Amino acid sequence: MDITTADKTRTQDACCAGAPPPSDATIAPGDTRFRIAAMDCIAEESEIRRALDRLPDIGRLHFDLPRRILTIAAPETVLPQVVAAIGRVGFKAVKIESADRVDPMPASGHDQSHSHSDEHGHEHADHGGAGMPRLVAALLFGIGAELLSFLAFDSTLSSIAGMGLAGIAIALAGFDTYRKGLTALRHGRLNINALMTVAVTGAFLIGQWPEAAMVMALYAIAELIEARAVGRARNAVKSLLAMAPEDAEVRQSDGRWLRVPADAVAVGSVIRLRPGERVPLDGVVSVGSGAVDESTVTGESLAVDKSPGDAVFSGTINQATALEIRTTARASDSTLARIIHAVEQAQGSRAPTQRFVDRFAAIYTPAVFVLAVAVAVSTPWLMDWTWSMALYKALVLLVIACPCALVISTPVSVVSGLASAARRGILIKGGVHLEAARNLKVLALDKTGTITEGRPQLVAFEVIDPDADEGRLRELVNSLAARSDHPVSVAISRGIDAAAHEVAEFAAFAGRGVSGLIDGAEYLLANHRWVEERGQCSPAVEARLRVHEAAGRSVSLLVGVGGVLALCAVADRIRPSAKAAIAELIRLGVRPVMLTGDNHATARTIAAEAGIAEVHAGLLPEDKLAVIADLQTRFGATGMAGDGINDAPALAKADIGFAMGGAGTNTAMDAADIVVMNDELPRIAETIRLSRRTHVVLWQNIGLAMGIKALFLLLAIFGNATMWMAVFADMGASLLVVFNGLRLLNVPTESGAGSVSGLPQGRPHGPA
């Protein structure tokens, strides 16, 4: 079983609408990139997405709107069908060869110069693009046309002049709208640009040329403001791309220091970091001690002390002293690169509310278009309107019908919520998980490394066999413990000052312990459960175990052929923030439950200290999986928080999996839906609060968009709504939902979350 995907489909829709683009280095083998010159808004992305949904064998999609690039995972044989499907909805897709250079996105997040490609995929400036100076000029010409109409000059010359000014305004502001609108109409699609093209052209032809000019100018200006506002949400975490230096000072084989590109530094190289410099690559401190600002990774402002053996992460800032670091990952595999990749994937995943809105908009727009045609054709007969009046009201309906506010109401809120979480060191792998977190009824928490610090210390070593030599027993224990990366084994090995012997046939058993041959004899370093399963737990051993377990200690037993030889007791402290975090979860209506492979007595002691009532102890990985299934049956939506390999199946099974990213294994982080980069439990409560606030904002936006549309639709049919009012209703609603969604970027940290600290230091990762 693939423990990263067990019992739950985790396919991420990676259509990253406006997310920071993947670098060429991070594009997966088999991916193909297309440049689509006319694709630069969410509505157009949705049209292309729907066209491709009908094709077989389509895998991951990544929409990079600022650069107008679509990355698609599909077999080579399907690519002609992809190009044809995109062409059928009115867009031209040009394949980008692997050798072609792709320029980075504009800093503003929306390139208003509107580039397009030729057959070779190269960009060219589109001189019809509508920048702000061009739009201001269009607005001035539109105002001039309005003034001529308002002053009511009756001369033919003034009418011709007014129409000329209106025509210039429409040409300046509406070039892109007309180009896209006419393309859409040729292919039978009723999108925003098609509706505006028909409405403005119709208004001009029936003599409402001043309104036609002002509507187009105001529409284009509002589109520009909206695009820049949405760009703020899309690029809220784009600054991560600039946090890792492009080069590093690397020690050469002859001892010299040479500055080379960071992506050329091999794993295991030694790099030098001066005070104030950013860390270019993940690594471990080899020389020097000092403080490092890890806020870019964990969201915490407090610097973390580093000494030889401690991990450092790319993008963090060395503060006061020089450090030498031995690299542990290439630039493309660094912690910062993984964060950027996770945010890219998350910003493109479509939340349930967004899918609902897309389906609704696909029905809503054609329905209103049919209504507008009905008004134009039937009202002269049914309501005794003039044909000119009926046509005008129909055109007003078309402007109001633009689904821009509705379509954009959800993605801007979801992206803002994801960006807000990422700034705090919480990586949410998609809008679906951001929305689902609000529904959690129960949260299962692994003990070691989640509730506790995960840095246990050896507090007692006892000889059980009176005939054995204590020095020899210590050597046997250290020989086995030194081969394991489990936190308990690491603590034992650190705490025992003894030589380590060669271990043959070493084996680790999840949830039980380790075994091996030392000098030809088999020994085990086992937990209480395994010793009982082997029938080697005597009354004397049981008595000693009860004493240590009652004190909240984890006990490992050295077992030989004849029975238990020695006892090692390890104690792990509860995290300082754990008690407040558990209390906050309870206040939020989420039931905390502890899961652990440790013994019952130790688990109950730790749970009581943390404020957790329900405890499941002595669990193997498959037992944790069964407990998650039981909790889902009893309570409903269930979350799981853990950091070890043996937590991965439960993380995958849970409705929402939270991985403790700073101390967690890669397996746990891959299996989880949400990664807490600084390991602190208060971040889980923050995530739930953010999820609930995002849900409120989403439905506020949908309500605003639909309410304003409904009001003006009624005014247009039964009242005196003008095209002016229609464009203000449409674009006003769009801007309103955008700025309402952007409020999520600045959600304050709740006081109940408790204090947080930086990443755990110097702890090898392993199963809890």
β-strand partners of 457:
571
Whole-number Å distance between alpha carbons of 183 and 189? 9
Whole-number Å distance between alpha carbons of 663 and 666? 10
Indicate the residue type of 335: T
Number of other residues whose CB lies within 10 A of the CB of residue 648: 32
Contact 587, 533 (CB under 8 A): no
Annotation says 446 is catalytic: yes
**Choice among 293, 446, 572, 670 that is catalytic:** 446
User: In Å, what is the CA distance from 168 to each residue of 138, 139, 149?
Assistant: 7, 10, 16
Contact 48, 39 (CB under 8 A): yes
Whole-number Å distance between alpha carbons of 49 and 61? 9
User: In Å, what is the CA distance from 57 to each residue of 79, 416, 708?
Assistant: 10, 32, 41
C-alpha distance across the termini of the chain, in Å:
20
Q: Could you tell me the strand order of the sheet in which 317-318 lies?
A: 304-306, 290-293, 317-318
Whole-number Å distance between alpha carbons of 60 and 29? 12
Residue 165 CA from chain centroid, whole number? 48
Whole-number Å distance between alpha carbons of 245 and 264? 13
Whole-number Å distance between alpha carbons of 102 and 123? 9
195-198 contacts, C-beta under 8 A, 24 or more apart: 195/365, 195/369, 195/398, 195/399, 195/401, 195/402, 196/398, 196/399, 196/402, 198/395, 198/398
- Tell me how many degrees the CA angle 471-477-481 measures, rounded to the nearest 5: 145
Whole-number Å distance between alpha carbons of 329 and 253? 20
Q: 311-312 and 304-306: which strand pairing?
A: unpaired
Contact 89, 70 (CB under 8 A): no
- Whose tokens are 């971040």? That residue is 683
DSSP string, 230-286: HHHHHTTTGGGGGTS-SEEEEE-TTS-EEEEEGGGPPTT-EEEE-TTPBP-S-EEEE
Phi, psi (deg, nearest 5) at residue 293:
-80, 110
Phi, psi (deg, nearest 5) at residue 276:
90, -10
Torsion on CA atoms 267, 272, 276, 277, rounded to nearest 10: -40
Catalytic residues: 446
